């Protein structure tokens, strides 16, 4: 069964049809990439899946359950975590505290339990810290656990955001341009990390502009152009599809409109 | 306690801003402070004990507002409303049914918390300055309502008189020393609870909401619920402080709950350091004790106040005793 299924999803903002009739499946255990020119509607699609926007029409099913109508924090509880295109960390909190936030939805200590420090609350707190620590170790930031997120260099911030998303213990991890702004060795390390995440059993859905990353690690690629999926398949299928070349480069013989 | 102890020790190490106190030294310092506080009634005159009592009451109010403004970042400039609800609720319920003040303190807290829930629910989604204006409005509506004496309940501009007092084994806690212990005992209890809350799942969620609502939501935090919880808790705490205030003042009248009071509470939190519990204690001392020390210059009080605020914002925007986050963010200091 497909892990995530979008059927006929549309979203309009005023006069702009940002997403028109998208149907897309993400198979369990894969790395699926969503590519397309700027403004194609990729991030909008992510925001629709994660509950930040609500589609005008269409259904989004995750593990068989309808997601449309759920609020973002409920979507996270169902097992979908995300990162942001423009890194959105809690900059005045430490790295560890950032990652601990991801465990919020996997713990339940309430007001009184937290004040009285009941046995169950202490056990939960210990477990939550263990998970957070493990996530920091996975991205190689355990030494920076007590640094403020604001003090990290850019590449580490992106890794911290991934660790924070993983701390929600997701089934599906959605990464919005994780390689954006990274240098070559950093994006190489990122590819390793994403493969490692898949190996641990988490399905990955990726928006990415860096074609080396996309072609290097994706099991499946979908191409979005002007709010529509115009091609799907393995990286090599998509690379050679004429409609994809056209979307990126324009039609042969067409005048440049400058 | 293993995990949390390590955590507290590391917090103390990170405390920044000069307070480099570690484990046992910290405990010793705390014990010394408590002992000094306990001995105060032996050396202070009744007049200064009264000052210390008001310091305690305003510290409670500051702590309650700090939950809302400092921990979650909701600009609430109408906090006096909940304080007023607690104070009036105490007198009215005492007059009606003769309930004991020991019972009325939590009851007024619940009353103010319920009011906080009802009043904040429709406006909690507002951001920054919009919420600020809405809360100022709430405060004014309540104050004008109290002045207008609806159904002859509130006594209009003259207010109400509380005839009862906290009693222990039939003895009224009228004398300043006893009342001082009562107020600071409550402050101690509240500080203890808030410190634990700060280092819990709930406190962390509040801070995440303050930092970035969208990211907090994307991490599975119910932002609306987190905000409401902080607001209701803060309102409830202010309501409980209202009982102490009514018992101390005896007369409860609308002039005690003006917009200026809300500004003072806000100033306590900002002056001390947003999100910092010791900061609130220092800030409330600055607002309540300093004016008494400078009594000879009373007519220049607002001038001092304004100048101090302006200087603070220029030279020490993080507050007198900032939470470690603020100090580190503003100085760019890194952990060694």
Q: What is the DSSP string of B159-173?
A: -EE-----EETTEE-
Look up residue A15 and give its DSSP letter: T
* Rounded Cα–Cα distance for residues A253 and A235 (Å): 26
- Residue B165 in contact with residue B159, Cβ under 8 Å? no
User: Which pLDDT score is estimated for A113?
Assistant: 92
Residue B25 lies in a domain: no
Please list every residue in chain B whose beta carbon sits closer than 8 Å to the beta carbon of residue A48.
none
Please list every residue in chain A whose beta carbon sits closer than 8 Å to the beta carbon of residue B208.
90, 93, 101, 104
Chain B nearest CA to A124, separation (Å): 10
Strands (E), A136-200: 172-176
User: Which pLDDT score is estimated for B326?
Assistant: 52
- pLDDT per position as a tens digit, A78-122: 999 999 999 999 998 999 999 999 999 999 889 999 999 999 999
User: Which pLDDT score is estimated for B324?
Assistant: 63
Q: Which of A76, A91, A147 sits opposite B335 (nearest CB)?
A: A147
Q: Is B202 on the interface with A (CB under 8 A)?
A: yes
Q: Which of B203, B220, B326 sits opposite A105 (nearest CB)?
A: B220
Does the pLDDT at position A257 exceed 60? Answer: no
Chain A nearest CA to B217, separation (Å): 5
Residue B241 lies in a domain: yes
User: Which pLDDT score is estimated for B6?
Assistant: 38
- Residue B241 in contact with residue B86, Cβ under 8 Å? yes
User: Which pLDDT score is estimated for B127?
Assistant: 84
CATH number of A1-79+170-258, picked from 3.40.50.880, 3.40.50.300, 3.40.50.1370, 3.40.50.10190: 3.40.50.300
Q: Name the token pair of A186.
A: 């950093």
Beta-carbon contacts of residue B56 (< 8 Å; ≥ 6 apart): B180, B183, B184, B186, B187, B244
Residue B247 lies in a domain: yes
- Tell which residue, B73, B111, B113, has the closest CA to residue B94: B111
Provide the 3-class DSSP secondary structure of residue A165: helix
Q: Name the token pair of A95.
A: 């790295």
* Rounded Cα–Cα distance for residues A182 and A187 (Å): 6
* Rounded Cα–Cα distance for residues B101 and A24 (Å): 64
Q: Is A100 on the interface with B (CB under 8 A)?
A: yes
Half-sphere exposure at residue B304, Cβ-oriented, CA atoms within 13 angstroms: 14
If you count them, how many residues does chain A have? 258
Q: Do A104 and B221 touch (CB under 8 A)?
A: yes
- Mean pLDDT (whole number) for A3-10: 94
Q: Which of residues 165-184 of A touch B (CB under 8 A)?
A: 165, 168
User: Which pLDDT score is estimated for B5?
Assistant: 38
The continuous run of DSSP H or E covering A224 comes out as: strand A220-225
- pLDDT per position as a tens digit, A57-79: 999 999 999 999 999 999 999 99
Query: How many contacts does A have with B, using Cβ atoms within 8 A?
Result: 122
pTM above threshold 0.90: no
pLDDT band at A245 (very low <50, low <70, confident <90, very high): confident
CA B266 to chain centre: 9
- Mean pLDDT (whole number) for A149-170: 94
User: Which pLDDT score is estimated for B17?
Assistant: 36
The interface pTM score, or ipTM, of the predicted complex is 0.89
Which residue positions in chain B have pLDDT lower than 70? 1-22, 324-336
For an interface test with A, which of B13, B203, B219, B234 has the most A Cβ atoms less than 10 Å from its Cβ? B219
Return mean pLDDT, chain A: 91
Q: Which of A52, A106, A114 sits opposite B196 (nearest CB)?
A: A114
Please list every residue in chain B whose beta carbon sits closer than 8 Å to the beta carbon of residue A115.
193, 196-197, 200
* Rounded Cα–Cα distance for residues A22 and A224 (Å): 9
Q: Which of B200, B201, B215 sits opposite A88 (nearest CB)?
A: B215
User: Which pLDDT score is estimated for B215?
Assistant: 94
Provide the 3-class DSSP secondary structure of residue A32: strand
- Mean pLDDT (whole number) for A202-228: 92
Instruction: Locate the domains of chain A by residue range.
Output: 1-79+170-258, 92-160
Chain B nearest CA to A122, separation (Å): 7
Residue B31 lies in a domain: no
Q: Are strands B167-168 and B171-172 parallel, antiparallel or unpaired?
A: antiparallel
Provide the 3-class DSSP secondary structure of residue B316: coil
Q: Name the token pair of B74.
A: 């909701």
Q: How many domains does chain B have?
A: 1
Residue B308 lies in a domain: no
Q: Do B218 and A50 touch (CB under 8 A)?
A: yes
What domain range is B191 assigned to? 45-258
- Tell which residue, B211, B80, B64, has the closest CA to residue B135: B80
User: Which pLDDT score is estimated for B11?
Assistant: 40
């Amino acid at each position: 069964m497909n892990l995530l299924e979008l059927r006929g999803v549309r979203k309009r903002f005023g006069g702009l049809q940002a997403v028109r009739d998208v149907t897309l499946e993400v198979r369990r255990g894969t790395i699926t990439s969503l590519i397309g020119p700027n403004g194609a509607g990729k991030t909008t699609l992510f925001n629709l899946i994660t509950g930040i926007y609500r589609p005008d029409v269409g259904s989004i099913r995750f593990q068989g359950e309808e997601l449309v109508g759920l609020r973002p924090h409920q979507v996270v509880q169902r097992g979908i975590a995300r990162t942001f295109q423009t890194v959105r960390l809690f900059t005045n909190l430490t790295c560890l505290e950032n990652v601990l936030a991801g465990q919020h939805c996997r713990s339940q200590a309430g007001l009184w339990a937290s004040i009285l420090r009941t046995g169950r609350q202490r056990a939960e707190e210990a477990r939550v810290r263990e998970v957070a620590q493990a996530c920091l170790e996975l991205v190689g930031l355990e030494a920076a656990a007590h640094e403020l997120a604001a003090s990290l260099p850019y590449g580490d911030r992106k890794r911290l955001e991934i660790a924070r998303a993983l701390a929600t213990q997701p089934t599906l991890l959605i990464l919005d341009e994780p390689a954006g702004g990274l240098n070559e060795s950093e994006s190489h390390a990122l590819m390793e990390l994403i493969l490692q995440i898949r190996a641990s059993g988490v399905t990955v859905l990726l928006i990415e502009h860096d074609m080396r990353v996309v072609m290097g690690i994706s099991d499946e690629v979908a191409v979005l152009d002007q709010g529509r999926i115009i091609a799907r398949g393995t990286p090599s299928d998509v690379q050679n599809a004429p409609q994809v070349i056209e979307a990126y480069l324009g039609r042969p013989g067409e005048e440049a409109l400058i | 306690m293993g995990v949390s102890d390590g955590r507290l020790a590391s917090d103390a190490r990170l405390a920044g801003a000069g307070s480099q106190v570690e484990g046992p030294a910290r405990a010793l310092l705390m014990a010394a402070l408590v002992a000094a506080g306990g001995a105060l009634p032996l050396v202070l005159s009744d007049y200064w004990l009264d000052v210390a009592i008001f310091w305690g009451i305003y510290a409670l109010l500051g702590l309650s507002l700090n939950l809302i403004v400092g921990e979650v970042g909701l600009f609430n400039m109408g906090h006096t409303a909940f304080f007023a609800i607690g104070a009036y609720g105490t007198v009215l319920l005492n007059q009606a049914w003769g309930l004991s003040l020991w019972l009325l303190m939590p009851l007024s807290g619940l009353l103010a918390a319920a009011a906080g829930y009802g009043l904040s629910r429709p406006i909690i989604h507002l951001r920054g300055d919009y919420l600020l204006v809405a809360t100022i409005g709430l405060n004014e509506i309540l104050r004008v309502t109290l002045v207008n004496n609806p159904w002859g309940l509130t006594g209009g501009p003259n207010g109400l008189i509380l005839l009862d007092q906290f009693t222990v084994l039939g003895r009224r806690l009228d004398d300043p020393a006893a009342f001082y212990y009562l107020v600071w005992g409550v402050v101690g209890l509240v500080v203890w609870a808030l410190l634990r809350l700060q280092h819990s799942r709930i406190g962390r969620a509040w801070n995440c909401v303050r930092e970035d609502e969208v990211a907090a939501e994307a991490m599975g935090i119910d932002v609306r619920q987190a905000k409401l919880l902080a607001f209701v808790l803060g309102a409830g705490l202010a309501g409980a402080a209202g009982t102490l205030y009514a018992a101390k003042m005896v007369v409860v009248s609308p002039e005690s709950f003006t917009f200026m009071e809300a500004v003072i509470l806000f100033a306590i939190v900002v002056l001390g350091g947003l999100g910092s519990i010791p900061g609130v204690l220092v800030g409330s001392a600055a607002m309540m004790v300093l004016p008494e020390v400078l009594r000879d210059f009373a007519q220049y009080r607002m001038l001092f106040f304004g100048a101090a605020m302006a200087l603070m914002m220029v030279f020490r925007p993080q507050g007198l005793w900032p939470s470690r986050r603020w100090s580190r963010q503003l100085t760019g200091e890194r952990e060694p």
